[in-house]
């Protein structure tokens, strides 16, 4: 099937009517649209190359390297509205005159989605695109906390070392995570297994809320997290940065180093990260035993472009050692047993040792009216859980995933395009003979899918529709039972999905409506698990008779934008057929509670977001941001679903300053988070009380030849004692972290070669 799909795309490539390549020098000037004066040091950014050039003091730029026949170019400058154009190569030497309009404020950066190639503001689907710099303003301690500032996005946490994303109440196997288009598979079936991605070297995150199977296939039932690496350095430049953070509640440090270079059509990035955190402190002054963790991360990317061809190779290594706090087999749980007066960071057990390798090769081919993208990737995840023995793991599993993704985009006009694609992966899950327990049998999984997407745009209306077919085969050739018997498992699951949406722009208003579907086959762990999951402290039993989950969602957005105010109202309704869940059956096995996988006829989720961003003209430094996230979930009998987040009010008051001095105050930010009680819980959940948090952060810039950025602040300013509803330590009565005083120092270096 893979070879047939690749042959199809090669045929499309050969018969494309626009296979024209020319050498080129692109030059031009960026000027003020009001008085035609040059805009000095404006940035010219080639979105597909992930690099660009800077204008000189006269607003003039030149780019002497090969460019694809058709490419998007973004022009930006401080104090001006950004502009994105689709540039078509015409002459050997082209000269552009770009007019930018002065702007009092840019409430939203012009951003092109990595998923569709469409401007964020005019996307048919609900895509939240945030730069890492933007979501780090409130100084999160980890990437999970950072993205949880996005409306309707939360995190399931086990202390600070383990964080899983939650989108509109769904998490785990219903969320697909991608890094630069590479699907990340890292045993996400486990509630105590994190994302497998750190903030190191990440430049942007896109969040697709709700069913997103059209572009990302099976499993994207609840949404997608699409992470994109930092851009390469600008043309003929070398960039470097060193950053170190200290946090008081863990006595921990998180250190980063980055080096980027761009020369002669070659681009190279390298990122390193070491994170070491001791047990975290809770508001009463005690520490949570074994909540410590360590993290090593190395990643690199190499890019090259020649004529109509762009190639990027990326590799990412991540190793974690994570303590498992709250681990016990006692039937009567006393919270004080997990608290201590000593804060330690030495390795101990129980713990998880997780090693990830991610590698991908991306090729893009550009023609006058089309482009072809082919990604081939591999991910390796080794998960070891140590419970009672230091040298012998309880679980030792290897997940080997091989991925291909090909997409062809043809533009009939600048406002009409067709996207067709194929995706698939071959996954092998195996157990080491050294482990004392086998939770999942050795098995393989093969996915394949085909899709088509049509996008049409007029001056005020955009329309998008698409259809997709997916098939998944799960095979476990030999499954051994406790009684000595054995059996095999082989089954195929398939499904169709669709997406249909339209938006309409009238003056400052934008109305968006989208209907989409999702498809998720039951996972190996839901079908065939039979053993102790040490991290979750339960014996899990699968159900081989589970059916496919299907989902349909209606998403509506009403947006208002002007120079000073941005408002968004975004309600949704999602229907999930054959909803799969895990629940206790009241028995004990191997000293832990026994949980079994079940399926309800259907479940529904509804709710929405309300967001506002106000930036008044009368006081330029002031930003007032507020959003509300609300989710209601029920099964066919109107019973609650497990682990549905609390309603959240998120408010930020920020003062930004642009004065030019040696010591510059960049911004001061005060964030207030208020969570309503969560009383709709399932049988084995505990209810959660309301709580509120305040965070105060300040950022300073020392404008030397190589700038230094200093951030200091206090998280949980008033040392609030609380337990979040999605904390996996909630059932044993362990509080979330207390007050945290942090300091971050970042050193920036830039060198421009001839």
Q: Average pLDDT of 23-40? A: 86
Choice among 103-112, 226-235, 342-351, 707-716 with the minimum mean pLDDT? 103-112
Inform me whether the pLDDT recorded for 259 exceeds 70.
yes
Whether 117 has a pLDDT exceeding 60, the answer reads no
Q: Specify the pLDDT at position 477.
A: 87
Predicted local confidence at residue 14, as pLDDT? 39
Look at residue 2 in the predicted model and tell me its pLDDT: 45
Give residue 22's pLDDT.
Answer: 45
Per-residue pLDDT for 108 more than 60?
no
CA 188 to chain centre: 14
Average pLDDT over residues 269-297: 95
pLDDT value at residue 12: 43
With bands split at pLDDT 50, 70 and 90, how would you rate the model's confidence at 101? confident
pLDDT per residue as tens digits for the range 572-617: 999 999 999 888 887 888 777 888 999 999 999 999 999 999 988 7
State the pLDDT at residue 11: 46
What does the pLDDT look like over 551-564, one tens digit per residue?
999 999 999 988 88
Res 24: pLDDT:
62
Predicted local distance difference test score (pLDDT) of residue 629: 97
CA separation for the pair 212, 126 (Å, rounded): 10
Residue 116 banded pLDDT, cuts 50, 70, 90: low
Q: Using DSSP, state whether 14 is helix, strand or coil.
A: helix
Q: What mean pLDDT comes out for the span 351-374?
A: 93
What is the chain's mean pLDDT, rounded?
88
Q: Residue 545 pLDDT > 90, yes or no?
A: yes
Place of tokens 């994303």: 165
User: Which range (23-32, 426-435, 480-489) has the least confidence?
Assistant: 480-489
**pLDDT bracket for residue 535 (50, 70, 90):** low
Give the whole-angstrom CA distance, residue 529 versus residue 492: 18
Which pLDDT band holds residue 331 (cuts at 50, 70, 90)? low
Find the helix or strand (DSSP H, E) in which 132 lies.
Answer: helix 132-135
Q: Is the pLDDT of residue 624 over 80?
A: yes
The pLDDT score that the predictor gives to residue 20 is 39
CA–CA distance, 302 with 330 (Å, rounded to integer): 52
Q: Does residue 330 register a pLDDT over 50?
A: yes
Output the pLDDT for position 612.
Answer: 96
Whole-angstrom CA distances from 35 to 44, 74, 321 are 21, 21, 59
Residue 15's pLDDT band (boundaries 50, 70, 90)? very low
Indicate the range of 15-24, 61-70, 257-266, 334-343 predicted with least confidence: 15-24
- Asked if pLDDT for residue 482 goes beyond 90, the answer is no
Question: Residue 93: pLDDT band by 50, 70, 90 thresholds?
Answer: low
pLDDT digits (tens, 9 = 90+) for 454-473: 999 888 898 999 999 999 99
Cβ–Cβ < 8 Å for 157, 141: no
- Residue 108 near residue 566, CB atoms below 8 Å: yes
Average pLDDT over residues 721-743: 93
Can you tell me the distance from the alpha carbon of 390 to that of 382, in angstroms, rounded to the nearest whole number?
Answer: 17
- pLDDT for the residue numbered 105: 54
DSSP secondary structure letter of residue 337: G
Q: What is the rounded end-to-end Cα distance, in angstroms, of the chain?
A: 49
pLDDT of residue 303: 95
Instruction: Please give the pLDDT value at position 606.
Output: 97
Per-residue confidence (pLDDT) for residue 484, from 0 to 100 = 64
Question: What is the structure's pLDDT at 118?
Answer: 54
Query: Is the pLDDT score of 8 beyond 60?
Result: no
Confidence of residue 125 (pLDDT cuts 50, 70, 90): low
Please compute the mean of the pLDDT values over residues 396-414 and round it to a whole number. 93
- Tokens 């502009």 locate to 83
Please give the pLDDT value at position 112. Answer: 58
- Mean pLDDT, to the nearest integer, of 31-50? 89
Domains, in order of start, for the chain:
2-100 (2.60.40.10), 145-158+160-752 (2.40.170.20)
Q: Please give the average per-residue pLDDT across 149-170, as a whole number.
A: 91
Beta strands in 161-216 (DSSP E): 162-167, 170-171, 175-179, 182-183, 202-209
- Residue predicted with more confidence, 684 or 445: 445
Buried b (16+ CB within 10 A) or exposed e, 111-129: bbbbbbbbbbbebbbbbbb
The per-residue pLDDT for 1 is 47
Q: How far apart are CA 517 and CA 211, in angstroms?
A: 6
Can you give the pLDDT at residue 314?
97
Is pTM beyond 0.75? Reply is yes
Nearest to 185 by CA among 440, 403, 433: 403
What is the biggest distance separating any 2 CA atoms in the chain, rounded to whole angstroms? 85
Query: Of 729, 742, 741, 740, whose CA–CA distance to 339 is shortest?
Result: 729
């Amino acid at each position: 099937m893979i070879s047939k799909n690749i042959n199809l795309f090669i045929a499309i490539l050969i018969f494309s009517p626009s296979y024209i390549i020319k050498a080129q020098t692109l030059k031009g000037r960026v000027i003020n649209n009001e008085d035609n004066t040059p805009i000095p040091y404006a940035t010219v950014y080639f979105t597909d190359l992930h690099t660009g050039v800077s204008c000189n003091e006269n607003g003039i730029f030149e780019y002497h390297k090969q460019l694809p026949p058709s490419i998007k170019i973004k022009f930006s400058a401080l104090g001006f509205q950004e502009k994105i154009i689709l540039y078509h190569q015409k002459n050997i030497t082209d000269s552009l005159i770009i007019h930018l309009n002065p702007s009092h404020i840019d409430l939203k950066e012009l951003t092109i989605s990595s998923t569709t190639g469409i401007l964020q503001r005019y996307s048919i689907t609900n895509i939240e695109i945030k730069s890492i710099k933007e979501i780090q303003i409130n100084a999160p301690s980890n990437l999970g906390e950072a993205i949880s500032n996005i409306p309707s996005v939360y995190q399931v946490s086990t202390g600070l070392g383990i964080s899983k994303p939650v989108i509109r109440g769904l998490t785990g196997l219903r969320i697909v995570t991608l890094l630069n288009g590479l699907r990340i598979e890292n045993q996400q079936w486990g509630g105590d297994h994190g994302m497998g991605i750190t903030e190191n070297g990440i430049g942007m995150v896109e969040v697709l809320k709700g069913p997103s199977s059209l572009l990302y296939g099976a499993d994207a039932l609840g949404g997608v997290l699409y992470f994109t690496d930092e851009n390469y350095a600008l043309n003929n430049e070398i960039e470097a940065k060193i950053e170190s953070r200290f946090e008081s509640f863990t006595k921990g440090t998180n250190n980063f180093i980055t080096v980027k270079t761009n020369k002669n059509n070659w681009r190279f990035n390298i990122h390193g990260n070491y994170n070491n955190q001791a047990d975290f402190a809770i508001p009463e002054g005690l520490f949570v035993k074994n909540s410590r963790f360590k993290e090593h991360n190395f990643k690199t990317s190499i890019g090259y472009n020649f004529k109509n061809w762009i190639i990027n190779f990326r590799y990412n290594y991540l190793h974690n050692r994570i303590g498992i706090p709250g681990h016990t087999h006692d039937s009567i749980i006393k919270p004080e047993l997990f608290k201590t007066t000593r804060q330690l960071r030495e390795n101990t057990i129980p713990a998880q040792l997780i090693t990830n390798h991610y590698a991908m090769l991306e090729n893009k081919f550009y023609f006058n009216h089309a482009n072809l993208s082919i990604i081939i990737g591999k991910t390796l995840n080794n998960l070891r859980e140590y419970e009672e023995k230091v040298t012998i793991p309880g679980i030792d599993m290897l997940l080997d995933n091989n991925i291909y993704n090909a997409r062809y985009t043809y533009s009939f006009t600048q406002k009409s395009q067709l996207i067709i694609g194929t995706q698939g992966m071959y996954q092998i899950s195996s157990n080491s003979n050294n482990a004392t327990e086998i939770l999942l049998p050795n098995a393989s999984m093969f996915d394949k899918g085909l899709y088509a997407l049509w996008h049409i745009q007029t001056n005020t209306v955009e329309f998008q529709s698409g259809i997709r077919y997916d098939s998944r085969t799960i095979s476990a050739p030999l499954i051994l039972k406790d009684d000595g018997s054995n059996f095999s498992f082989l089954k195929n699951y398939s499904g169709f999905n669709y997406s249909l949406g339209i938006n309409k722009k009238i003056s400052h208003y934008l109305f968006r409506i989208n209907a989409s579907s999702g498809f998720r086959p039951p996972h190996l762990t839901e079908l065939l698990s039979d053993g102790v999951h040490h991290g979750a402290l339960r014996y899990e039993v699968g159900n081989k008779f589970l059916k496919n989950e299907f989902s349909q969602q209606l998403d509506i957005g009403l947006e208002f934008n002007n120079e000073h105010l941005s408002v968004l109202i975004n309600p949704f309704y999602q229907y999930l057929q054959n909803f799969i869940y895990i629940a206790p059956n009241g028995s004990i096995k191997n000293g832990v509670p026994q949980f079994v996988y079940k399926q309800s006829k259907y479940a529904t989720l509804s709710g929405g977001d309300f967001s506002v961003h106000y930036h008044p003209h009368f006081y330029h430094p002031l930003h007032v941001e507020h959003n509300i996230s609300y989710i209601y979930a029920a099964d066919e009998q109107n019973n609650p679903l497990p682990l549905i987040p609390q309603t959240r009010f998120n408010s930020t008051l920020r003062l930004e300053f642009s004065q030019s001095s040696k010591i510059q105050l960049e911004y001061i930010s005060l964030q207030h988070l208020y969570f309503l009680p969560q009383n709709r819980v399932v049988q084995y959940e505990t209810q959660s009380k309301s709580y509120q948090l305040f965070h105060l952060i300040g950022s300073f810039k020392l404008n030397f030849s190589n700038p230094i950025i200093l951030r200091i602040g206090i998280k949980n300013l008033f040392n609030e004692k609380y337990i979040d509803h999605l904390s996996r330590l909630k059932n044993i009565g362990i509080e979330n972290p207390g007050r945290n005083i942090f300091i971050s120092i970042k050193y920036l270096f830039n060198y421009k070669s001839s």
